[in-house]
Amino acid sequence: MEDCIFCKITTGKLPSHKIYEDNYFIAILDIFPRVKGHTLLIPKQHYRYVYDVPNFGKYWETAKTVGLKIQQALNSNFLTFLTIGNEVPHAHIHILPQATENPEGFSLGEGISMSQSDLEHVVKDIVGQK
């Protein structure tokens, strides 16, 4: 996609701090990191959302491989993987190494309140889908 910043990065038209690359994906350090080592795993082909990536399983396996490499290099306690989808209109997985037992670099915000009846209706709606 011509105006996509991640397409420009994957094709080398824009610079990046690349830490991994294969035939399908590239991993770069986020230029607005939430934590030290915050990385974005981006498919080289343009897809709008993570779930649009045809080799979805390979995508997540690659995220794990890259994440474990980051975790070892930075000696982090665990990894957080996020897909948000609204920051850049190109699929990407955020990989955030966590240095403490409390997740850093993001916030889930307030939860919503749902009654047992509401939960049962949601289950019924989801299970009823074909």
Task: Give the 3-state secondary structure of residue 117.
Answer: helix
Q: What is the residue-level pLDDT of the chain in tens, covering all 130 positions?
A: 679 999 999 999 999 999 999 999 999 999 999 999 999 999 999 999 999 999 999 999 999 999 999 999 999 999 999 998 888 999 999 999 998 888 888 877 888 999 999 999 999 999 987 6
Tokens (6 digits) for 103:
């997740």
Distance (Å, rounded) from C-alpha 127 to C-alpha 5?
A: 38
Whichever domain contains 106, its CATH number is 3.30.428.10
In which domain, by residue range, is 64 found?
5-127
Query: In 3D, which of 29, 120, 45, 126 has the Cα closest to residue 90?
Result: 45
| Cα–Cα distances in angstroms (integers) from residue 48 to residues 1, 22, 30, 64, 107, in the given order | 10, 20, 18, 21, 23
Query: In 3D, which of 103, 92, 87, 101 has the Cα closest to residue 63?
Result: 92
- Model pTM score: 0.90
Q: Which helix (H) or strand (E) holds 21?
A: strand 18-21
Structural domains counted in the chain: 1
